[in-house]
Amino acid sequence: MDVFDKLKILTDAAKYDVACTSSGVNKKAAAGGIGSASASGICHSFSGDGRCISLLKVLMTNVCAYDCKYCVNRKSNDTPRASFTSRELAELTINFYRRNYIEGLFLSSGVLKNPDYTTEQMIETLRILREEYRFLGYIHAKAIPGTDSGLIARLGMLTDRMSVNIELPSQSSLQLLAPDKSKHSILAPMKYIQNRIQENSTDIIKYRHAPKFVPAGQSTQMIIGATPDTDFQILNLTEGLYKKYKLKRVFFSAYMPVAENALLPTLDSTPPLWREHRLYQADWLLRFYGFTANELLDQQHQSFNPFLDPKCNWALHHMDFFPVNVNRAPYSDLLRVPGIGVNSAKRIVISRRSATLQFNDLKKLGVVLKRAQYFITCGGKAAGGFKITQDKVLQSLMSEKTLGMYHQSFPLQSQNKQLSLFEQPPMIPSGCPQEDLQRCLTSPI
Amino acid sequence: MFDQSNLIYRYDGSFDGLLCCVFESYEKKEIPTEIILPDTSQTLLFAAKEIRTDIQKSSRVLSSIPEKMGFDALNFIRRAFLTCFTQKELYILLFLRLGYRHGRSIMGMLTDNTVNTLFKAVKHLDNESHLLKGFVRFSIFSNVMVAQIEPQNYVLPLMTQHFSERYPEERFLIYDKTHGMALVYQPYQSAIIPIEDLELPEPDEQEQSYRELWQLFYDTIEIQGRHNPKCRMSHMPKRYWRYMTEFGSSPKKSHLKLEDTAKLFIP
């Protein structure tokens, strides 16, 4: 089997890993070495599915001793198997890196023999890269659950980022679909890595040249839609991981049906991409916008609104928070306005020092007025000078078609209307479809 | 201040030349409506005023900028000068005039039309140089790495540091076809020099096989069930594809004498 076949098999087996980021660490090659990394991360290409390709994402081997039901590489699956030798993989990485195809290496692996043996193979590859080629580019390695902590420590000294996959969002789902893994075997290495990073950061204060342990932090990923866990559970778990384990990122991957199993969605089901998208939006709100999981979802509303993004949804249910005065509101309040993002909020804070902002100024700063106008005031004035109701805002945030679907799944609560003695009967003929009705009622908002 | 609606400056195209325009504008108390390059061939209704580049004048302007409005502003207009924005010269002049009046706060006046226009142009430049740090593809010919790009903005000065730090022990050349310039590097020395044209030889066997390996990787890494060409295009506009190995368009194949490229390197 030549390198072409191996690369094909082992890339194909690795492509369901989501993380391909190269961010979180700044460094440059010393004389005689090769490679650097920038904290913002650099995307080198984008594949046909629109995902960033930043790292050479391959498995060391796709031979696996485990039999996780959702995984293409499970023991019981009849698929061609291959393994890279450490030297082969190191050479491939360096040659890709020299041509600027990649930012570094993303190394994961199936479990060959046992977790310790597999990790030793990975360590050898990274050792060749770091010591023989003096490679300083980005390396992301997966910690295999169940590996000896001494080996994880060695792996961590060679990598920039490590990750342990949570795989499924709850212990019961794990038991059902990944019988060889348990919550404990996943969280133990995660905790260990976190402790080592913590220790290392105090070492670096004492000794400037102390070798760095996983300087870009750790991340994890979980599969969405293979099990009945709700968005609320997933989001809470995510928040917990950020707080307790100090993760840099939590990735979600919509379940792609790769296996026929009574416990899993059928092979012809489509991946729940919109759900993954909403989770990522919520994830951003947690990390950069100061929201908490409980604000976005609660016991009564366990899943995201498919028609509205989580921030708009929050805003519509908290109309008492608005309008926000753009010229005075603190940064944290600006962030809560739909249509204002981190960048535009920062620009607002900077530019309002020298001038009073008007609506057309906001447009220049990158605010999406189409959404934001209902939630802000400039110099005491709202955009249209009209009274804003939840329904009006909804109409302008969505296309008519989606609005129709929205009303079907979320019927309007009874409107608090003042009773009138002379109530006009509805003037619209009853045959008029809902959408047309809305159009003629609401066009000049 | 004279309101001269027909005043046009012509400068030599250098940054110093532009600073002399600023000097002239203050000395004569006038604001031009246009600043043009020497080889602008359009027929002008009014004669352009020739601005001679005088290093003494330009260095006076240069040293006053960080003093009056901070190093951020200087750094900003240096980058603005690299953009492909057609009226960049005029807008830099207007920006500096505003800066002398308002001082350091000029960098926060994002809603001002002049400042806003320049900020957008610089953002375009920064975005493009960031993207190209990833999209540049080197081919290796007898241990010299060669790449071609066709950017809209003049990004080479912004890429020098990145690639020098990344490949400190290599010899490489990045040819900017739009501007006819090339970044050349050999260990611990780099320079940007004008180059008319660059023709590359046939790739050797090793080079060819790594290109094919990369194409194989690129095609395999996609999850077919999530195919989304629109998303790819918005992250990676098609104009960059031309020189990217994964789309099978290796740099132009033709005859080149390697001694020629070797000569390009700094002696």
What is the average pLDDT across A321-325? Answer: 90
- Where on the phi/psi map is residue A16: left (φ > 0), alpha (ψ -120 to 50), or beta? alpha
Residues 6+ away with beta carbon under 8 Å from A185? A145, A146
**Closest CA–CA distance from residue A350 to any residue of chain B (Å):** 6
Determine contact: B236 vs chain A, CB below 8 A. Answer: yes
Instruction: Return the pLDDT at A423.
Output: 53
Flag the least confident range among A141-155, A218-232, A259-273, B161-175.
Answer: A259-273
Number of Cβ within 10 Å of residue B110's Cβ equals 20
Structure tokens at B224: 């077919």
| Chain B residue with the nearest C-alpha to that of A137 | B166
The answer for B 86-115 residues in CB contact with A (under 8 A) is 102, 105, 108-112
Question: Does residue A433 register a pLDDT over 80?
Answer: no
* CB-count burial class (<10 Å; 0-12, 13-18, 19+) for B106: buried
| Chain A residue with the nearest C-alpha to that of B220 | A12
* Residue pair A219/A194 in contact by the 8 Å Cβ criterion: no
pLDDT tens-place string over residues A32-58 = 889 999 999 999 999 999 999 999 999
Structure tokens at A311: 């921030």
**List of chain B residues whose C-beta atoms are within 8 Å of the C-beta of residue A30:** 168
What single-letter amino acid sits at B52? R
Does A11 sit within 8 Å of B138, measured CB to CB?
Answer: no
pLDDT band at A310 (very low <50, low <70, confident <90, very high): very high
pLDDT tens-place string over residues A386-418 = 566 677 777 777 777 777 777 777 665 544 555
Instruction: Report in angstroms the alpha-carbon separations of B206 from A11, A95, B211, B213, B220.
Output: 21, 10, 9, 11, 21
**Closest CA–CA distance from residue A43 to any residue of chain B (Å):** 6
More confident residue, A259 or A90: A90
Flag the least confident range among A178-192, A320-334, A420-434.
Answer: A420-434
Number of Cβ within 10 Å of residue A398's Cβ equals 17
Instruction: Return the pLDDT at A419.
Output: 54
Instruction: Return the pLDDT at A386.
Output: 57
What is the average pLDDT across A51-70? Answer: 92
Specify the DSSP element, H or E, that contains B129: helix B113-135
CB neighbour burial string for A229-261, b if at least 16 within 10 angstroms, e if fewer: bebbebbbbbbebbeebebbbbbbbbbbbbbeb
Instruction: Return the pLDDT at A367.
Output: 94
Number of Cβ within 10 Å of residue B57's Cβ equals 19
DSSP-based three-state secondary structure for A300: coil
pTM: 0.87
| Chain B residue with the nearest C-alpha to that of A22 | B134
Structure tokens at B266: 């700094």
Question: Does residue A371 register a pLDDT over 50?
Answer: yes
What is the average pLDDT across A59-84? Answer: 90
What is the average pLDDT across A318-340? Answer: 93
* Secondary-structure breakdown of chain B: helix, strand, coil percentages, each rounded to the nearest 5: 50, 15, 35
**Closest CA–CA distance from residue A345 to any residue of chain B (Å):** 12
DSSP-based three-state secondary structure for A244: helix
Residue A156 φ then ψ, to 5°: -65, -30
pLDDT tens-place string over residues A338-347 = 999 999 999 9
- Between CA A98 and CA A75 the distance in angstroms is 36
Question: Does residue A435 register a pLDDT over 50?
Answer: no
**Closest CA–CA distance from residue A151 to any residue of chain B (Å):** 29
Does A53 sit within 8 Å of B221, measured CB to CB?
Answer: yes
pLDDT tens-place string over residues B199-231 = 888 899 999 999 999 999 999 999 988 899 999
pLDDT band at A181 (very low <50, low <70, confident <90, very high): confident
Kindly give the pairing relationship between strand B181-186 and strand B189-194: antiparallel
Kindly give the pairing relationship between strand B144-149 and strand B171-176: parallel
* Contacts for A113-117: CB closer than 8 Å, 24+ residues apart: A113/A65, A114/A65, A114/A146, A115/A144, A115/A145, A115/A146, A115/A147, A115/A148, A116/A147, A116/A148, A116/A151
- Between CA B97 and CA B112 the distance in angstroms is 13
One DSSP character per residue, B28-86 reads TTB--SEEE-TT--SPPSSPPEE----HHHHHHHHHHHHHHHHHHHHHHHHHHTTS--T
Q: What is the mean pLDDT of chain A?
A: 86
Does B229 sit within 8 Å of A45, measured CB to CB?
Answer: no
Interface test with chain B among A49, A138, A253, A326, by most B beta carbons within 10 Å:
A49
DSSP-based three-state secondary structure for B96: helix
The answer for B 157-176 residues in CB contact with A (under 8 A) is 162, 165-170
Angle between helices A273-288 and A310-317 (to 10 degrees): 70
Question: Does residue A250 register a pLDDT over 80?
Answer: yes
Low-confidence ranges of chain B (pLDDT < 50): 250-259, 267
Instruction: Return the pLDDT at A417.
Output: 52
Per cent of chain A over pLDDT 70 is 90
For chains A and B, count residue pairs whose Cβ atoms are closer than 8 Å.
156
Does A354 sit within 8 Å of B166, measured CB to CB?
Answer: no
- Between CA A348 and CA A326 the distance in angstroms is 8
pLDDT tens-place string over residues A258-307 = 777 778 888 778 888 889 999 999 999 999 999 999 999 988 888 898 88
Instruction: Return the pLDDT at B200.
Output: 84
Place of tokens 């033709």: B254
